[in-house]
Structure 1
Amino acid sequence: MSVKSVKSGIVALFVLTLAACSNSEVDDTYVARDVNVLYNLGKEYYEKGRYMFAAAAFDEVERQHPYSVWARRAQVMAAAAYYQAKRYDDAINAIDRFLQLHPGNSSAPYAYYIKALCFYEQIADVGRDQDYTMRARNAFVELIRRYPDSEYAYDAKQKLELTDDHLAGKEMEVGRYYMRSKEYLSAAIRFRNVIEKYQKSSHTPEALHRLVEVNLALGIQPEAQSAAAVLGYNYNGSKWYRYSYALLKNKKLSPEMSSGSWLSKLWPF
């Protein structure tokens, strides 16, 4: 069902609702009652899970009464309804319009949160382009930056960790591809990205191990030893440290942090 057809149905239903609500002629007080009825109609649809009808009703509030306090509420509720209906582009457009008109509104944190969720729920697997993942990450970062004490900040932080893990996973996938192709320098760049940008992700131990592998392949032994040292210091019980330790042992080397390594700046021993 298209947005246009739903809106047409809402307008027709709204006219019938008004006729049932009042037998009096339209007067100066009728407009206020009008907007209340229409907003409540949208709220009723929302609560019943008929999100597209709810969005259309809330949009109608804004269209007919753009300067009322109800219009500001309706903009946010329309965005929420579009989000629930998985009409993510419509939700984002509604939120952007709301934030542009009312940046300091008390509902702004919720609006930023809904926008971030619209991107977050479109995240694809690591084998595909990560544009939505990056947009979700940026939106969560913006929410946390602007409203660190809001009720949405905690959940945003949790989801931010998941987006970072997803982005790190993509870097690892590409890095492994370069390793299989023996493009070790390109692989090293990808694994280093994981360490520098997504250090708290679940992929960090493997990324450190892969840096041991690629640096040994490139003949850069101090960097390989440094990566193994960091791996042993932070993830001593992991299988990745065992693999790295065995690689170095075969070459009669040991894990040792080099003072000139870029890793020493991230993990000062």
Structure 2
Amino acid sequence: MKKYLSILLAVTLLVSCSEYQNVLKSNDPELKYNKAVEYFEKNDFMRATTLFDEVSRYYRGTERSELVLNYLARSYMGQKDYFTASEYYKTYVKTYPKGKFIIEARYMIGYCYYLDSPDARLDQTTTHNAIKAFQEFLDLHPESERVPQANKLLDELTNKLAYKELLTAKLYYNLGNYLGNNYLSAVIVAQNALLNYPSNAYREEFSFIILQSKYQQAVQSFEDKKMERFRDTIDEYYNYTNEFPEGKYRKDADKILADSKRTVKD
């Protein structure tokens, strides 16, 4: 039985390949278009892409051109080639600013960038592009049913940028005074992240890194700056505890406060 199934599968594949080759060689754009749609609906996106690309030149300037462009973008999405898909969606937006797929196309530009957004440790140009695209989508289509999802993905992308800054702040903190005052750099990175991404998911981590860094600056300061920096640390403790009274770093923060007060009193 398995032998017969294998033979049947081989014959089916052979017929399919032969049919596809015949379509490719055909000079009939209507045949190619219809077969491209058929392949697309069967999730055979590679063959669909090839055929849509061929007929796109024939249908340029016609009503069908809009459909072909939309199919091309979706076919590249199906192949997980998100960069190329985004380029086709952008071409659609430029070519058909009032087209029937314009809302979907604007959303998909952001979504393609979102899917292509790399790990937080890598360059985040694509993440910034995704944020910009989603913001444009929200500005232009505030009534779209895609708005909740776009906002959700925007939050996720913003948190990724914030997390990248958190990793940088932690790196500076761990470097300490190696080749300079890295504690100050940690404070600056964390403060800027809180300003740039005020609703990010790592606010407590940033706030505590600021407190830790100011404390370490004070501990390792020369005598003429020590008291001023410990007082600044005490102020920072209250900034942290006012926002996070039950914070997960509260015990460590309390120890920093106790040592800072003890030093200032002495």
Question: What TM bracket, shorter-length normalisation?
Answer: 0.7 to 0.9
TM-score (norm 2): 0.75
Residue aligning to 1:49? 43
Residue aligning to 1:211? 210
Q: 1:175 deviation in Å?
A: 0.9
Specify which of 72, 96, 109 is matched with residue 102 of structure 1: 96
Residue aligning to 1:249? 258
SS of the residue 2:261 aligns to = coil
Q: 5+ residue gaps in structure 2? A: 1-18, 177-181, 219-228
Correspondence 1:114 to 2:113: no
Q: Which amino acid aligns with 1:167?
A: L
Q: Which structure is higher in helix share?
A: 2
SS of the residue 1:86 aligns to = coil
Give yes or no for contact 2:233–2:260 (8 Å, CA) kept in 1: no
**If you compute each CA radius of gyration, which structure gives the higher value, 1 or 2?**
2
CA distance in 2, matches of 1:11, 1:66: 24
Equivalent pairs: percent with the same residue? 23
Residue aligning to 1:163? 157
- Write the deviation string for residues 54-96 of structure 1: whole angstroms up to 9, x where unpaired: 2233333431111222211221221111022022232122122
Give yes or no for contact 1:208–1:228 (8 Å, CA) kept in 2: no
Give yes or no for contact 1:228–1:241 (8 Å, CA) kept in 2: no
- Write the deviation string for residues 32-64 of structure 1: whole angstroms up to 9, x where unpaired: xx64x5444333222211112222333334311
Q: Which amino acid aligns with 2:203?
A: T
SS of the residue 1:121 aligns to = helix
CA distance in 2, matches of 1:77, 1:71: 10
- Give the count of matched residue pairs: 229
CA distance in 1, matches of 2:232, 2:43: 57
TM-score (norm 1): 0.75
Q: Which amino acid aligns with 1:13?
A: V
SS of the residue 1:200 aligns to = coil
Correspondence 1:186 to 2:196: no
CA distance in 1, matches of 2:124, 2:89: 22
Give yes or no for contact 2:39–2:45 (8 Å, CA) kept in 1: yes
Correspondence 1:13 to 2:23: yes
CA distance in 2, matches of 1:229, 1:121: 40
Give yes or no for contact 2:158–2:200 (8 Å, CA) kept in 1: yes
